[in-house]
Amino acid sequence: MKVKMKKIVFILSLFLITSNALMAQDDGDEKIRDRMREYIQDRMKLSNEEADKFAPIFLRYFKEWRMTLKENKGTPKLDLQQKIIDLKIRYRAEFKNIVGEKRSNEIYQRQEEFIQKLKDTRRERILDRGKPGNRLKALQL
């Protein structure tokens, strides 16, 4: 009886730990998504009306974009790129109704800029952690 109870507690613990990790990942995705949306809106200088219409469509796009990346992690790079392009073409029509033909393509350019800045920031943090003086600063905080 005790062995079964230990197994049940163990399984429940694993479930709670993994669900917390997934929720934390979702929170991270939401923060990135919101910052990316704000970045794009700011860089494109969207009016309040445009931003109000843009936000819900961008949230749907971002969710599908992340899902496409996750579902196709092990696939060949060209196949993944084709799926992302198909997604962008589909959403470009919706963005075009808000910001016009010319500016609808700019959304994806701004997205790439944001992603590059995010990668650069992460790279800098990793490099800074490796410096001896920065380790001491991190311990003091």
Per-residue pLDDT band at 8 (split at 50, 70, 90): low
Tens of pLDDT, residue by residue over 51-81, are 999 999 999 999 999 999 999 999 999 999 9
Residue 19 domain boundaries: 2-140
| Mean pLDDT for the chain overall | 82
Q: For residue 91, what are its two tokens?
A: 């959403």
Tens of pLDDT, residue by residue over 17-40, are 544 444 444 567 889 999 999 999
Name, in order, each residue with C-beta under 8 angstroms of 3's C-beta and a sequence gap of 6 or more: none
Per-residue pLDDT band at 84 (split at 50, 70, 90): very high
What pLDDT score does 5 carry? 60
Q: pTM of the prediction?
A: 0.69
Residue 137 in this model has a pLDDT that exceeds 80: no
- C-alpha dist (Å) from residue 116 to 36, 72, 120, 124: 11, 21, 6, 12
What pLDDT score does 22 carry? 42
Q: Among the listed ranges 15-29, 36-50, 113-127, which one has the minimum average pLDDT value?
A: 15-29
Give the total number of structural domains in the chain: 1
CA 58 to chain CA mean position, Å: 12
CA distance 2 to 67: 42
Mean pLDDT, residues 6-18: 57
What pLDDT score does 126 carry? 86
